[in-house]
Amino acid sequence: MNSSDNYYVMRSQCASDFGKSALLEFLQMFYIVFPENYDKPPIEMPNYELNLIPTIMALTFFEQIARLFQRQKLTRVQDVVTNVGSSIIFTFSRVLFLGVMIHVYTFIYDNYRIIDLPLYSVWTWLFSLLLVEFVYYWTHRALHEFNFLWAAHQFHHMAEDLNITTTIRDSVVDLIIYDIFPVPISFLIQPQILVVHMQFSLIYQIWLHNSVVGDLGFIEYIVNTPRQHLVHHGKNPYCIDKNYGALLMIWDRMFGTYQREKKDDELVFGVVSPTPATFDPIVLQFGYYRDVYKKFCQMETFSDKMSALFKGPGWSPGKPRLGLISDVPEPDRSAPKYSYDPKTSVWIKLYVAIHGIMFPFVLYMIGHHTLIRFSYGRAFILMMYLLMSLTSFGFIFDNRKYAHLFEILRCILYFPVDYYIAIKTAWQFGSGEKLVFDSFMLVIRTLYITSILIWILKMLIKSNPHGSMVSLTKEKEAIECENGKCKADFNENIELAKKLASKTARKIGGFKVLNITVTAIYIIFVACLIGILYFLKVESCTSLLNTV
């Protein structure tokens, strides 16, 4: 067999392995795993959450298709960008923090373990699962029942539309709390098993955040399901502080926090307190700490000040530890679904969506590459750049005055980040893989250069993204009455009204066509990126086999 034939054999093998690994990664989301595959030393354990990026993106796409068939509204671009962006910051933070905590778990187990359990025993695996679920239940409950911890977790519950991407809408402080609370388990369980279950406990929750899956019958009695978790996210009075479990609901049933959905009481999602009128990630993730501080300062006695921190967010002097359910208002179902929904043009949404989708793809390509492991330096730089990007996108969605200047600066700063992250790692790629990678990076760099030019042009001509509606508004005003008297007679008004209705219908039709066209462009773009990921993955495997 010549070298060319050998290359195609290896490539075929890698393509087959890619399909198998994709299937295994999909099954991992439902905790369908084989324990013997997860016995690596904890520091060598892969980031299973990072591996699932393509699966999450595919599920998000199919969820939107299901919403169309069920005649539900599609998820807002603003929410997807906010959720996915926060998840990547969460992932980078985990690269930085979980590595530290793994050393802590290992040190405690090596020096202070209470018992030696067999590593390859199914009973050890099941016992570990129960322990991690037990600790997760109380960690999650603490995040709701202590005001200073709720400040970290409320960002997750601000989501007023439950979808797949809501799962990964977590704050950085949430991550730290979730990684610290399992420390006591390391006295009993090997670190590699602990780390695997910690990741899978979060991974399982991906499919719980959706409104397209209905009641699953008897399965509802065994494990957590979307219908049960939707209750947890409801702000209806009967939903408050209920259903904390991740995989299992036994702890909720045992400790009195289980609640089934009431079919006659439509669920409304979000938080009871007012949400910030912004898409700025800094304000969304950390703004509630200011409210906690204000409440702390308003208390007169030391006891009340401590209660403002360590009792529930609904507590006030003279009330029970978690406040009164009677104080929770019934949600106003006549109000708009979103408490903050500024008008944004379709093209701005497409622009932010295309830039936003780049981050998970780049993260997956670099972090999941067979020959590359994230360094702390790369993770920190990418995390800071992503935070700047989310802030810029938030400014754009908020229609801030200087959003265009901040976005131009962000696009310019991409190139030094590109040099440090992409160019310095590309030498590790094989020849075929490098060709695909270079082509992909050329597309990204062209996108950023074009973006800079677009925003400069937009700034120079001072265009109005909502200008298309100005003439329509003026025509509407032309047939309105002023001071009780109409400027035109009745017949003229009728004629104007007909013209306005006709033009409005044409504009609405045009908007629909534009929305469909933009959506199609975006889907094609994402499909192309998925194809690039596939080729990169296969080429990376082939390059690795060539070195063996």
Say whether 248 sits in a helix, a strand or coil. Answer: strand
Output the pLDDT for position 199.
Answer: 86
Are 36 and 120 in contact by the 8 Å Cβ rule? The answer is: yes
How many C-beta neighbours within 10 Å does residue 37 have? 10
Place of tokens 């590593």: 119
Q: What is the DSSP string of 109-131?
A: HHHH-S----TT-HHHHHHHHHH
> Which residues are CB-neighbours of 116 under 8 A, at least 6 positions away?
none
> Phi first, then psi: what are they for 437, rounded to 5°?
-60, -45
Task: Give the residue ranges of the chain where pLDDT is below 50.
Answer: 5, 7-11, 370-373, 465-488, 490, 508, 511, 544-545, 547-548
Amino acid at 393: F
> Which residues are CB-neighbours of 439 under 8 A, at least 6 positions away?
532
Output the pLDDT for position 468.
Answer: 45
Output the pLDDT for position 517.
Answer: 57
Q: CA 119, CA 372: separation in Å to the nearest integer?
A: 29
Q: Give 116-159 pLDDT, tens digit per residue.
A: 988 888 888 899 999 999 999 999 999 999 999 999 999 999 99
- The reported pTM is 0.80
Output the pLDDT for position 458.
Answer: 83
Q: Give 412-459 pLDDT, tens digit per residue.
A: 999 988 877 766 555 555 555 666 677 777 888 888 998 999 898 888
Are 524 and 357 in contact by the 8 Å Cβ rule? The answer is: no
Output the pLDDT for position 372.
Answer: 44
Output the pLDDT for position 387.
Answer: 87
Please state whether 25 falls in left (phi above 0), alpha (psi between -120 and 50) or beta.
alpha
Output the pLDDT for position 88.
Answer: 78
Please name which of 398, 408, 390 lies closest in space to residue 456, comparing C-alpha atoms: 408
Output the pLDDT for position 327.
Answer: 92
Output the pLDDT for position 467.
Answer: 46
* 464 CB-contact burial (10 Å; exposed 0-12 / middle 13-18 / buried 19+): exposed
Q: Give 164-173 pLDDT, tens digit per residue.
A: 989 889 888 8
Q: CA 433, CA 106: separation in Å to the nearest integer?
A: 37
Q: CA 174, CA 177: separation in Å to the nearest integer?
A: 5
Q: CA 428, CA 496: separation in Å to the nearest integer?
A: 68
Longest Cα pair distance anywhere in the chain, in angstroms? 93
Q: CA 85, CA 75: separation in Å to the nearest integer?
A: 15
Output the pLDDT for position 72.
Answer: 87
Residue 322 DSSP symbol? T
Say whether 234 sits in a helix, a strand or coil. Answer: strand
Q: CA 85, CA 77: separation in Å to the nearest integer?
A: 12
How many C-beta neighbours within 10 Å does residue 27 have? 12
